[in-house]
Amino acid sequence: GQSLEQPSEVTAVEGAIVQINCTYQTSGFYGLSWYQQHDGGAPTFLSYNGLDGLEETGRFSSFLSRSDSYGYLLLQELQMKDSASYFCAVRDILTGGGNKLTFGTGTQLKVEL
Amino acid sequence: EPEVTQTPSHQVTQMGQEVILRCVPISNHLYFYWYRQILGQKVEFLVSFYNNEISEKSEIFDDQFSVERPDGSNFTLKIRSTKLEDSAMYFCASSPRASVPIGYTFGSGTRLTVV
């Protein structure tokens, strides 16, 4: 089976930097993704790490250490609109075709003034 | 930007009734998925679909569930006899080739309420 653990809630102030951690235990692993979800809306793709190291996309960066089964999402210059739930997701490639994403428990980020 | 569309946005049904949730994936995508999210919980995989057949399904996807791609554009999820615990947000998603490690595109979801 697969399990991914994240902190349930993180609070930070506008302009700050916040890190959301994700640890995983999986039977198959082809990369770690991060998704943002506002108020039960559609999850939207933020970032993907297939190999160890840091990936940067604007204010968001994501890191992966496969040996530690660990990754994190780093959000810089926080804005109020960043208040949302953030999910890590492990990608597995299906023998029948396609990718399967298994999502973590989610972290509710609250950005305060 | 291409998007995945889902209808209806909200469906209320009585326990034991059949429901069909509809999705139009992105036109050049090849892989289609259904996920669900019970209020306040994580997003859970239900089923993946490729080349007109199911490629994987989860334990949640029992005999009460079925998927279909009746034409070249629609992708449907049917629940034959709804239960109270089927109340959730159901998300459809699509992705291009499996070898492309980019994210899915999710639809806005259908909120199913079973009463």
CB contact under 8 A, A94 and B98: yes
The CB density around residue A89, as the number of other CB atoms within 10 Å, is 28
Residue A32 clears pLDDT 80, i.e. is over it: yes
Confidence of residue A23 (pLDDT cuts 50, 70, 90): very high
- As given in the structure block, the two tokens for residue B89 are 């947000």
Please list the residues that pair with A63 across neighbouring strands.
A54, A72
Nearest to B106 by CA among A107, A37, A3, A90: A37
B50 touches chain A (CB under 8 A): yes
Please give the Cα distance from B52 to B39 (Å, whole number): 31
Q: A111 near A80, Cβ under 8 Å?
A: yes
pLDDT score recorded for residue B73: 86
> What per-residue confidence (pLDDT) applies to A1?
67
Residue-level pLDDT at B1: 77
52-71 of B, contacting A, C-beta below 8 A: 53-56
Closest to B93 in 3D by CA, of B26, B2, B39: B26
Instruction: Kindly state the percentage of chain A with pLDDT values over 90.
Output: 74
Cβ distance B108 to A104 less than 8 Å, yes or no, reads no
Least confident of A8-12, A38-42, A70-74: A38-42
Chain A residues within an 8 Å CB radius of B75? none
Which residues 85-104 on chain A approach chain B with CB closer than 8 angstroms? Answer: 87, 89, 91, 93-104
Query: Which chain B residues contact residue A98 at CB under 8 A?
Result: 30-31, 33, 48-50, 55-56, 95, 98
> Does B103 lie at the interface with A, CB-CB under 8 angstroms?
yes
- How much is the pLDDT for B40? 86
pLDDT for A95 equals 67
Residues in CB range of B88: below 8 A, 6 or more apart = B36, B37, B38, B39, B111, B112
Q: Do A42 and B31 touch (CB under 8 A)?
A: no
Nearest chain A residue to B91 by CA distance is A42
Across A90-94, A106-110, B71-75, least confident range: A90-94
pLDDT average, residue stretch A66-86: 96
Averaged pLDDT, A96-110: 85
Q: Cβ separation of A48 and B101 shorter than 8 Å?
A: yes
Q: Does the beta carbon of B84 lie under 8 angstroms from any beta carbon of chain A?
A: no
| Comparison of pLDDT for A65 and A95, the residue scoring more | A65
Task: Count contacts between A and B (CB, < 8 Å).
Answer: 83
Q: What is the pLDDT along chain B (115 residues), one digit of tens a residue?
A: 779 999 999 999 999 999 999 999 998 888 899 999 999 888 999 999 988 889 889 999 999 999 999 887 899 999 999 999 999 999 999 988 755 556 789 999 999 999 9
Q: How far apart are CA B105 and CA B115, in angstroms?
A: 30
